[in-house]
Structure 1
Amino acid sequence: MQLNYKSYGEGFPLVILHGLFGNLDNWQTLARKWADDYRIILVDLRNHGRSPHADEMTYPLMAHDLAAFLEEQAIDRCHVLGHSMGGKVAMQVALTYPALVEKLIVVDMAPRQYGRGHDDVFAALNALDPASLEDRRDAEERMKPHMEDAGVRMFLLKNLARDSEEGFRWRMNLEVLHRDYENLIAPVGTLGQTFPGQALFVRGGKSGYIKNDDWEGILAHFPLAELATVAGAGHWIHAEKPAELSGLVRKFLEKPAVRRERMVPNMGE
Structure 2
Amino acid sequence: MLRALAFSRWVHSSPLRPRLVILAKERRALASNAITPLSLSYTVFDGPSLQPPLVFLHGLFGSKTNFQSLAKKLVLQTGRQVLTVDARNHGSSPHGSLMSYEVMSADVQLLLHQLHLNRCVLIGHSMGGKTAMVLSLQRPELVERLVCVDISPSGTSAVTSFQAFMAAMQAVNIPQGLPRSTARRLADEQLRSTIQEPAIRNFLLTNLVSSGDQFTWRVNLEAISQNLNEMLSFPDFQTAYPGPTLFLGGSNSKYISSDDYPEIERLFPEAEIQYVPDAGHWVHADQPQQFLAAVCNFLELPPP
User: Is the shorter-chain TM-score for this pair beyond 0.5, marking a shared fold?
Assistant: yes
Query: Is 1:7 aligned with 2:7?
Result: no
Query: Is 1:122 aligned with 2:169?
Result: no
**Runs of 5+ unmatched residues, structure 2:** 1-37
Aligned to 1:169: 216
Contact 1:18 1:86 in 2 (8 A): yes
Q: How far did residue 254 of structure 1 move? A: 1.2
Contact 2:174 2:186 in 1 (8 A): no
Distance 1:256 1:187 in 2: 29
Q: 1:131 to 1:17 in 2, by over 3 A?
A: farther
Q: Normalization by structure 1: what TM-score?
A: 0.92
Aligned residues: 256
| Secondary structure class of the residue paired with 2:155 | coil
The amino acid across from 1:119 in the alignment is: Q
**Runs of 5+ unmatched residues, structure 1:** 259-269
Q: How far did residue 206 of structure 1 move? A: 0.8
User: Which has more radius of gyration?
Assistant: 2
Q: How far did residue 141 of structure 1 move? A: 2.0
Q: Normalization by structure 2: what TM-score?
A: 0.81
| Secondary structure class of the residue paired with 1:208 | coil
Residue 227 of structure 2: which of 180, 199, 221 is its match? 180
Q: How far did residue 147 of structure 1 move? A: 2.1
| Secondary structure class of the residue paired with 1:203 | strand
Distance 1:80 1:65 in 2: 14
Aligned to 2:10: none
Aligned to 2:27: none
Aligned to 1:39: 81
Q: 1:133 to 1:160 in 2, by over 3 A?
A: farther
Distance 1:253 1:17 in 2: 17
Question: RMSD of the TM alignment (CA)?
Answer: 1.3
Contact 1:92 1:189 in 2 (8 A): no
Aligned to 1:17: 57
Q: 1:130 to 1:179 in 2, by over 3 A?
A: farther
| Secondary structure class of the residue paired with 1:227 | strand
| Secondary structure class of the residue paired with 1:206 | coil
Distance 2:136 2:157 in 1: 24
Q: How far did residue 129 of structure 1 move? A: 3.0
The amino acid across from 2:217 in the alignment is: W
Structure with more relative contact order (C-alpha pairs < 8 Å, separation 6 or more): 2
Distance 1:7 1:189 in 2: 32
With 25-34 and 109-118 compared, the bigger mean Cα shift is at 109-118
| Secondary structure class of the residue paired with 1:35 | helix
Q: How far did residue 212 of structure 1 move? A: 1.2
Contact 1:104 1:199 in 2 (8 A): yes
Aligned to 1:154: 202
The amino acid across from 1:125 in the alignment is: M
